[in-house]
Structure 1
């Protein structure tokens, strides 16, 4: 826009000059006009505006020094082929264990902080973009927020599922993942790659749903993340909810208006889940979590415990990511073996 206005101004100014100027002067002016016009065409202004939670975020140019938080968000950027435009990540080694494949991708990228990044971490890295979320690297009232980073010219895109923390009652869906991938595609100018990833996920989910058809029952599922005195689980606002639904099940904590929260063991017993989804991450292995549940005195009458029906999924698979398609396929097979093992 600015260059085009400059060209128009030069033309108007020249028209007002008396045409008694020499041929040499006019000959010198013509290349200047043509060169400026071609430059304007070759270098158009680039900016995109996307919706991030309750904000409109404008990115003036594709980021070249991006930072992501958490294994989930980092994997998205890597899947979009953006490793060369990242200067680091945070929040992986202190919480999660990457798969060998993902760890290989991370080996030559610096981890800026094992858990939550500080403002200083991001400034020292020279970050020009931060992909994070609420309780995914940012906390309400914390040091690192979109408002605090805006003062330093670092735009933030928030993971859509995490917006429930700033927009009460917001329900997570698979569209959140598709939307995030497409918005990141626009931000980094890799729209075609983002569309390919989205279409691939959608095709896999559609295949599961088509095979399931209209099932007469929706088996009850309890998501066990961690915790012994009090279990940590997922309510109806979190990503496991749409994953379980797409797989033909029902989240027994769908009456709780939260994404991830603590519940009581008595609530688990009351809901009598038929299958327990164990989230595999943290200090305790999935096998240790399973053994703990099997030995818990209060759970001995629960159907999933009596029948020892468990599904183990990685943290990456149950939080917004490309692995959500794998989670749906795995859950659907466990919930409806009569359909998927024929």
Structure 2
């Protein structure tokens, strides 16, 4: 079967991509890594990267953006300021040759799906940032593109609206038979919308794998931290892992082949104590509580290490109260060797 997308980029971002029909890929990585540049290159827009692109086996790299059947939603939405929300959504449909009446009906249908039916007659300047982003998303989806490129499509939305729009987007992407790439910094968006994750760092692909594999064995410290893990790059020497920053050594449950690795520790596997712990925790070091966040029954406690790395622990509110956790409190950190995950780099 011909892939829905096959592309090779060069310039600021160097990558080779193949995306199957119906596949949704989350593009993640730190700020400045090249994620938005990659999407712009695939869309055929000016930028510091260029792309040779084939959609459904048909080369389109020589075509202007509007002729590629690409739906692109940039971070700022890029709506036409002089057009109403409905006319913005209908614009792409009219460009494909659809009738005015058909374009109008489809535009209003998509605005209703995204909770904007009452705002169809407003211009972008009369809409909030989140509303503008939903209009831009409706415009891209309504045109039924073969390649859908979404750059932080939910970032401007509040928590409640974000969940609703995520559900709508997931419902649309389920039967969608084109290729879709979504840039996001939110692990919930990445894992709920995409089956595959593309990790971009320093203008290159650092990892390209099913989402479940990336979450189980991330090869990027940034991605591991995005997923809520403690992450430390280091070198394994057979008996432990010497962390690159600070030189502290983490013990592991099993010998690790020598070479560069990424060590990860889930915050659940970190314990905090007022005195140096005794027992099965083979990794212990002192630190100072720097920050406490979270609500309800679980709290995330950031500890600045002294003689060991910084670490985030997740504890119950009851345990935190018993320990007297607060900023500036000196504590001891404990991590069992079995709690240290290792991925070869």
TM-score by length of 2: 0.26
Greater relative CO, 1 or 2 (CA 8 Å, sep 6+) = 2
Task: Kindly name which structure, 1 or 2, has the bigger radius of gyration based on alpha carbons.
Answer: 1
